[in-house]
Amino acid sequence: MPSDNRSNPPGEQPPTLSHVDERGNARMVDVSPKLPTAREAIASARITTTPQVVSAILAGDLPKGDAIAVARVAGIQAAKRTADLIPLCHPLPLDCVEIDIAQAADNALAITCRAKTTARTGVEMEALTGATIAALTLYDMGKSADKAMTIGPITLERKTGGKSGDYQR
């Protein structure tokens, strides 16, 4: 079985990779034996730019228009299409996707994506995808004003539900 390249204490087996079969081939995990449960995940992203670009984004004054509205829709749409983008993700029936974009500093915006479902597997990838694509959309909308914008970090902040339990960063 392939290892994840982290060292393990003596005598302890390396963790198994659920997306790899006994022959080392990539596979989609069979979640059919699991019962659907309520699940939620919150992910965040940050975009750093100049204070002038942050002000223009917040005021809706970029040449391409209302970047926040476009980024919000793009993030929601991306979360809904996560299984089309990430090969081994299960398609999930999303009950809710919310994108929030707020000023984090004079030169930065914070993007938060909250995704909810009742399903057999978690919704973390959908939240991470939504936050990421919202950030990329802000970059696209504002790149004419600042090509040096940076995106990151992108992080899972919280998840609830499922066999592995709750997680809080």
Expressed in percent and rounded to 5, the helix, strand and coil fractions of the chain are 25, 30, 40
Cα gap 42→151, rounded to integer Å: 17
CATH at residue 65: 3.30.70.640
Residue 20 lies in a domain: no
Count: domains in the chain: 1
For residues 39-67, average pLDDT: 96
Evaluate if residue 5 carries a pLDDT over 60.
no
Residue 91 lies in a domain: yes
Cα gap 94→115, rounded to integer Å: 7
Residue 15 lies in a domain: no
Structural domain of residue 81, as residue ranges?
37-162
Please list the active-site residues.
140
Helix (H, G, I), strand (E, B) or coil at 68: helix
Evaluate if residue 38 carries a pLDDT over 80.
yes
Q: CB under 8 Å to 2, separation ≥6 — which residues?
A: 17, 20, 24
pLDDT digits (tens, 9 = 90+) for 118-159: 999 999 999 999 999 999 999 999 999 999 999 999 999 999
